[in-house]
Amino acid sequence: MSADRSDSRNGALRGWSGRFSEPVAELVKQYTASVDFDQRLAEADIAGSLAHARMLAAIGVLTAADLAAIELGLTAIRGEVERSEFVWSRD
């Protein structure tokens, strides 16, 4: 009863990995997808993530280098979203 536990795009584990031997039905993917909400909340989500990372750096959980890398990555994603270049996926 082994299931394919990886996301074909990057090998990441899915939340339901290991529980089912059959692939997830497309209807279930559509029903449980949050990508429509993610698109609408992207700017606020990125702003919140940046604020959280800065707080973690301020209390010493993240190094300055870690914070810089997170800021660089989130800023790049923000730019992709603003230019409509970010690839939104239901998988």
Does residue 55 sit within a domain?
yes
Bridge partners, residue 6, by sequence: 13
Q: Which domain holds residue 76?
A: 33-82
**pTM strictly above 0.85:** no
- Contact between 70 and 62 (Cβ < 8 Å): yes
* % pLDDT > 90, the chain: 52
Our CA angle for 67, 64, 73, nearest 5°, is: 25
Does residue 78 sit within a domain?
yes
* % pLDDT > 70, the chain: 67
- Contact between 14 and 5 (Cβ < 8 Å): yes
Clarify whether residues 46 and 64 are in a common domain.
yes
